Chain A
Amino acid sequence: MNDREELPKVLYRFDYAEDREIFVEAFQGYFELLICKTDEDAKLMLEKYGAHISALVIDQEVIDSSLSSLCKSVHPKILSIQLHRDIALDAIVSLLDSGLTDKCFAKPYDANIIRSEIFTAALGVDDNRLIPLTVDGADKTFSVLIVDDEKIATKFLSKQLQHLGCPCHILVAANAEEALVIIEEQKSNLAMIISDHRMPGITGNQLLSEVQKYCPHIIRMLTSAYEEVDIALNAVNEGRIYRYIKKPWNAEEINSIIKLSLFEFKSRLKKAREQELNLQQQYQLILDERKLNIEKNLTEVVNKFGGEGGLEFFYACLNQISPLPPGKASLRASLETDIETRLVLDFSNKVKQRLLPLKDKLLPTSSETVLALIRKLCESDIEATQHMLSEAVCSMYLDVEILVCLQQLLMSSGLDFRSMALLDEGHESVLKLKVGTDLSLYRHILSAHTQVSEQMLQQQCELLILLLICRKLDLDIAIEGSAQSFQLSIKLPNACT
């Protein structure tokens, strides 16, 4: 989807006019519908529009459509949907096995969900979360967890699998509760889970739904001895299961499914790592360019205010803090929107504007005024603080501006001066955050961004100004960073200088 005018293209293959009418009624206006009565017409459309097609919808009572097969082989990113009046469990099992269909809906279908699926595919959004990088070691032996309340059957299957040379460690659980404990302990070793649906208490479907939420990288398979078409369809459409295995179990079949799933799991692991590496590399290039542009815009004005090395000092402080990591969203924002230009220009302009009135301020001859003000601020509520600071900004002295910067940094963290303490240490006083209090910093000017927010720009600008003023006044300022937060302390002289 590029422009509002350009609707996602949907290739629709139907057999019956009444089905077509219902489909057109539900989807016209939302998508550009390429309607085909024959496979030949559909193949021509596929050839003509290719990857510009967002979804293929097959509204026929068939399972092995040659069209889906062609579509998946030529354009694997096209979302493949099947609509069925009646579908048997065997058909769902073979749909999953073939991997040619992404979604399958029974009629009457919920058009809202199908529209959402197609729009999601058209936007190129991947609903699957990446494998956490804590799951390590592609060569280690991973585990499979089998969950079934029929303990004897599970034990027997486990032995048979071992005998057949199963490539995974086999773990068993007699119910969902036991399974959850094992998953919690073994999640970095667990590659797949095979769960029976009908169990006392929590069902297999519910268990897999939770696993999908909390450990989306674990491959999930459902088994059942019953014809539960609705459960299976729902699980397929919500991306909950990779395979549906019908009971009674056949150890050889399960062993080959485990081998296949392990291959899939390792491929996903490899792909996730490659994507992560690629993302880091691409983002580093973006950051290097951004840094260069900021320097072009600000080095002169910053050096003029506080001497050389001001920006480097700012960068060094930022590098101590771990902001939110880059992801697909921030990469897309940097590559496909004007976010990079805006970050550099808006930040530079803000800093320039902020520095302009400061250049005329006087260097203090005594820090007594500012120390007295800090003592008052540390005991005042927000209203009183704002009143005192609005009077203080009229001061001719530069050191008072430190408090203005701090006020903004505290506000961005939902704090005020009452979270700070002024400690008398003989010849100097140390202004620092009280124990257990941090300043929040989720993103900084050298981190990944998904949008340019005024709040972030303001926070960054005030942090830079604070550092520059401290350098100019030769005040010792220390920043200790951690995950999305930092500690700050400033040493202020007590005696007259």
Chain B
Amino acid sequence: MTFNIDNKIRLFITVEQRLYRDAVLFDLVNQKDIDIVGESSTGVETLSLLDMSAPSTLIIEENLKDMDGLTIAEAALLKIPSLVVILLVDDAISQNRLAIYLDSGIKSVVSKKQSLQDLNKSLNYTRNGHVYIDGERYRNESERLKSQVWKVENFSTELFQLLSEREQEVAKYIADHIPLKRIAEELGVSHKTVHTYKERILIKLGFERLPELVVYMKRLHFYSLQEGVCQ
């Protein structure tokens, strides 16, 4: 038994496609409570590296070239029963399938069609070894559609309109990668005030980190251009 006093997630990730693995790693590597301890593109290699890397969490793709991810996950759990396994599947799975995965010791299942935020949620909720099911995946179809429509409508205009004029201005600067200090100079306010604007923007838009805001602003810009063309 090794003591994980800081309760950091020691993460091993097994994803076959390099680009996809990099994208996930680049998002996770900056998180203070996550240590990336290993990566692999194949199942057999993952198993051979487990002893050395001693991960607390394994994110593993369902379809690997040498063996399926579920079998590898079960073999990994036989080696390290305390391992938290998050299975990445190509598409949403049925509830029956989910029950089988969870019975086999998988703690959470995330579809590749979900966002990085969802993967982060699963990582966070399972860190102490508990099962986490993202209810959104199994929500009543009509309710889910309603919420999707809501999201799309707000994506174009309403969500951004929740921000004050000043906050919108700051969001645009941030999206252009202007440092907070320079934004403060441009707006003639203190650095602390700009920092407060940034925090408020993130809260109002429901984001946790700056890259989410930057991507949102890029999409908003692109969407506005499209609307302009349509008009």
- A-to-B contact residues, CB < 8 Å: 1-2, 4-5, 7, 28-30, 112-113, 115-116, 119-120, 123-127, 129, 176-177, 180, 183-184, 202, 206, 209-215, 238-239, 324, 327-330, 332-333, 336-337, 411-414, 440, 442-443, 450-451, 453-456, 484
Contacts and interface: CB of A to CB of B under 8 A. Distances in A.
Interface stretch (B13-21, B23-31, B134-142, B213-221): B134-142
A451 B69 CA distance: 11
B68 A30 contact: no
Interface string B131-151: 111110011111110000000
B212 interface: no
A440 B131 CA distance: 29
Contacts of B99: 1, 123-125, 332
B60 interface: no
Contacts of B225: none
Contacts of A206: 3, 5, 7
B130 A412 contact: no
Interface in B1-47: 1, 3-5, 7, 42-45, 47
A30 B140 contact: yes
12 contacts: A1-B138, A4-B138, A29-B139, A116-B125, A124-B99, A177-B3, A184-B1, A327-B104, A414-B48, A442-B72, A442-B74, A443-B71
Given A4-B138, A324-B78, 10 more contacts: A1-B99, A116-B132, A210-B1, A332-B103, A336-B100, A412-B66, A414-B45, A450-B100, A451-B68, A455-B65
Given A116-B125, A329-B101, A442-B75, A210 B139 contact: no
Given A123-B98, A176-B3, A450-B74, A440 B67 contact: yes
B85 interface: no
A108 to B, nearest CB: 15
B70 interface: yes
Interface of B: 1, 3-5, 7, 42-45, 47-48, 64-68, 70-72, 74-75, 78, 81-82, 94-105, 121, 125, 128-135, 138-144
Nearest to A32: B140
A211 B128 CA distance: 11
A440 B64 CA distance: 15
Contact of A413 (B66, B81, B104, B143): B66
**In this complex, which of A1, A124, A332, A450 has the most chain B Cβ atoms within 10 angstroms of its Cβ?**
A450
Given A123-B98, A213-B82, A29 B143 contact: yes
Contacts of B97: 337
Contacts of B133: 115-116, 119-120, 123
B130 to A, nearest CB: 6
A210 B95 contact: no
B138 A119 contact: yes
Given A115-B133, A119-B138, A125-B131, A214 B82 contact: yes
Nearest to B5: A202
A272 to B, nearest CB: 14
A2 B74 CA distance: 25
Nearest to A26: B135
A239 B128 CA distance: 11
A450 B73 CA distance: 11
**In this complex, which of B48, B64, B134, B140 has the most chain A Cβ atoms within 10 angstroms of its Cβ?**
B140
Contacts of A332: 99-100, 103
Contact of A119 (B66, B71, B129, B135): B135
A203 to B, nearest CB: 10
A329 B100 contact: yes
Contacts of A120: 102, 131, 133
B143 A28 contact: yes
Contact of A213 (B66, B129, B132): B129
Contacts of A4: 94-95, 138, 141
Contact of A112 (B42, B121, B140): B121
A147 B67 CA distance: 44
